[in-house]
Amino acid sequence: MAETEQPQIYLISPPDFELSSFSEALGAVLDVAEIACVRLALASHDEGEIARAADTLREVSHQRDVAIVIDNHILLAERHGLDGVHLTDGSRSVRKARKQLGPDAIVGAYCGTSRHDGMSAGEAGSDYVSFGPVGQSALAGGEMADFETFEWWSQMIELPVVAEGGLDVDLITRLAPVTDFFGIGTEIWKSEDPAQALKALLAPLG
């Protein structure tokens, strides 16, 4: 990524939400900021609930020409007309997802703190890799993806990289030169006004 390019924003849904109010909040955020992609990251194992969310959020996103992917559910991505899938098991399912969804689908891989897993995902056909958490988080047993991982990746690897998990203004300032995307989720959804929270979080990007 060229130093002059600003990272793009990749929105991550909360793991649990009330569909009608969240779809309104999502629409409001998409209307005030340029968003590259939305990720449906429901923790639910209820297929009906996930399917309803996929249909509703696809409509909200596609009305605004924003791509939408879903965590892990390759079949549901295909069935509900989503743009692709975000895999949370690193590089392990990338080839399978690519084969099933075809060359035009978005296939991304969350690789925690592992550069090796990131490279393996890229070799398997991933469109991007995600490292995190970058800030204090209960995820990943307390391990964090450090600045050096992103710096090394931006210098050595052409595949786009996402920084996610525990972002704040200081981390966005620091990581902006070495990441292609910021994955932003609970940082804004827990706010009364997610659109304003996003603006405040992105203040360092001008």
SS (H, E, C) the chain: CCCCCCCEEEEECCCCCCHHHHHHHHHHHHHHCCEEEEEECCCCCCHHHHHHHHHHHHHHHHHCCCEEEEECCHHHHHHCCCCEEEECCCCCCHHHHHHHHCCCCEEEEECCCCHHHHHHHHHHCCCEEEECCCCCCCHHHHCCCCHHHHHHHHHHCCCCEEEECCCCHHHHHHHHHHCCEEEECHHHHCCCCHHHHHHHHCHHHC
The total of structural domains in the chain comes to: 1
Whether residue 200 is contained in a domain is answered as: no
Instruction: pLDDT band for 136, please (50, 70, 90 cuts).
Output: confident
Q: Is the pLDDT of residue 4 over 80?
A: no
Whether residue 28 is contained in a domain is answered as: yes
Residue-averaged pLDDT of the chain: 94
Instruction: pLDDT band for 3, please (50, 70, 90 cuts).
Output: very low
Whether residue 131 is contained in a domain is answered as: yes
Give the mean model confidence (pLDDT) for residues 37-53.
97
Q: Is the pLDDT of residue 139 over 90?
A: no
Domain extent, residue 41, equals: 8-193
Using alpha carbons, select from 160, 141, 10 the residue that is nearest to residue 71.
10
Q: Is the pLDDT of residue 159 over 80?
A: yes
Q: Is the pLDDT of residue 137 over 70?
A: no
**Residue 69, domain CATH:** 3.20.20.70
Other CB atoms within a 10 A radius of the CB of residue 31 amount to 10
Task: Give the bridge partners for 9, in sequence order.
Answer: 35, 182
Whether residue 78 is contained in a domain is answered as: yes
Whether residue 3 is contained in a domain is answered as: no
Q: What are phi and psi of 199, to 5 degrees?
A: -60, -45
pLDDT at 206: 81
Whether residue 165 is contained in a domain is answered as: yes
Residue type, 96: K
Other CB atoms within a 10 A radius of the CB of residue 146 amount to 12
Q: Is the pLDDT of residue 140 over 80?
A: no
Whether residue 199 is contained in a domain is answered as: no
pLDDT at 138: 61
pLDDT digits 0-9 by tens, 71-118: 999 999 999 999 999 999 999 999 999 999 999 999 999 999 999 999
